[in-house]
A = this chain, B = another copy of it.
Amino acid sequence: MWLRPERRVRDRRLSRERIVRVVVEVLDAEGHDGLSMRRVAERLGVTPGSLYWHVATKDEMVELALDAVLGEVDIAAAERMADWRQALLTVAQAHRAVMLRHRWMIPLLSTRRTLGPNALRAAEHTLRVLSRAGFDEDMLDAALSALNQLVVGAVVFESAWREGAEAAGRADDHQREEAAEFARRIGERHPLLAAARFATDPPDREDVWADRFAFGFGCLLNGLEAYRSAPETR
């Protein structure tokens, strides 16, 4: 009896938090196709089936991971800014950066609404900034929608390009040749597209993409503000 160890609370090897952390790691490292219950379980030193005690499905697991990374968006910094345009651009840029850091999350945005605590917090913040900027209630979520849409749309295209660039990095000579031939044909049949260098062969420089984004975002802000000031002029 003296030898019998004290009955202690069974130390759980698993928890949602621990699982989600590993899920994010795997997704960051291997992408969506590299994620499997077995892989996550293996990294946790556990059996695949055990994950189902903490999580209903793989889908739910991914959803938790999605909101977890949304928590990386730094809202506090923008909150203190006096200029509302600067504040909005700052959150948008932070949002954009997070999505580009975890590109696997981008395809998920169209298959479910993001209603996790972090997503809600971010939306509420943006509404607060818009509200203080003088947008009235009716225009508030129209403006929020448009701005969010532009941010998400921007990362969709940038992500697509980056995936392509990485695939090109893995390509062999033959594939490279094929790609060059293909680009040439685009030029022949689509003169304007060929001239628009950014569209066909954008530079692999983060700052150029960031400037691009700021430009589009600024134009949209201008358009929204113009409407707010004079709705009747269309």
CB neighbours of A144 from chain B (8 A): 196, 199
Give A95-146 interface residues, CB cut-off 8 Å to B.
103, 106-115, 120-121, 123-124, 127-128, 131, 137, 140-142, 144-146
CB neighbours of A195 from chain B (8 A): 137, 140
Q: Tell me, yes or no, whether A182 is within 8 Å of chain B by CB.
A: yes
Whether A123 lies near B164 (C-beta < 8 A) is no
Whether A120 lies near B186 (C-beta < 8 A) is yes
Copies of this chain present: 2
Chain B residue nearest in CB terms to A139: B215
CA distance A112 to B127 in the complex (A): 32
Q: Tell me, yes or no, whether A222 is within 8 Å of chain B by CB.
A: yes
Whether B182 lies near A127 (C-beta < 8 A) is no
Chain B residue nearest in CB terms to A195: B137
Given contacts A152-B157, A156-B156, contact A146 B215 (CB under 8 A): yes
